[in-house]
Amino acid sequence: MSKPTPVTVQSTPAQILEAFKRSGYVSLLTRELRGLMRKDPVGWLRGHPYLYAWYPAFFRDSSGIVKSTPETKRAAKQKLKRGVT
């Protein structure tokens, strides 16, 4: 399998959906959340910035720089405690 090219919010919805699938993130979501994510993958990526820290090989912010800040790491830990949303 080739190394993935990280996607940004400027990527096509199909590319973002593929990155969600290849990263394994989709498997963490409930059926209802997967449906919402599939309806608006760009909006979903914008609304879940912790994905840049969780999956830097798959997602990059719009400037092309991977965001892995204390805030995104803290948000990711909180999401894990509550369950992925």
What are 31-50's pLDDT values in tens digits?
Answer: 999 999 999 999 999 999 88
Cβ 37 vs Cβ 66: under 8 Å: no
Quickly tell me which residue has 């992925």 as its tokens.
Answer: 84
Percent of the chain with pLDDT over 90: 56
What are 42-84's pLDDT values in tens digits?
Answer: 999 999 988 988 898 999 987 655 555 566 566 666 666 666 5
Q: Across the chain, what does the average pLDDT equal?
A: 83
What are 7-26's pLDDT values in tens digits?
Answer: 999 999 999 999 999 999 99
Please tell me the distance from the alpha carbon of residue 70 to that of residue 81, in angstroms, as a whole number.
17
Please tell me the distance from the alpha carbon of residue 27 to that of residue 7, in angstroms, as a whole number.
19
* Confidence at residue 48, expressed as pLDDT on a 0 to 100 scale: 92
* Confidence at residue 84, expressed as pLDDT on a 0 to 100 scale: 59
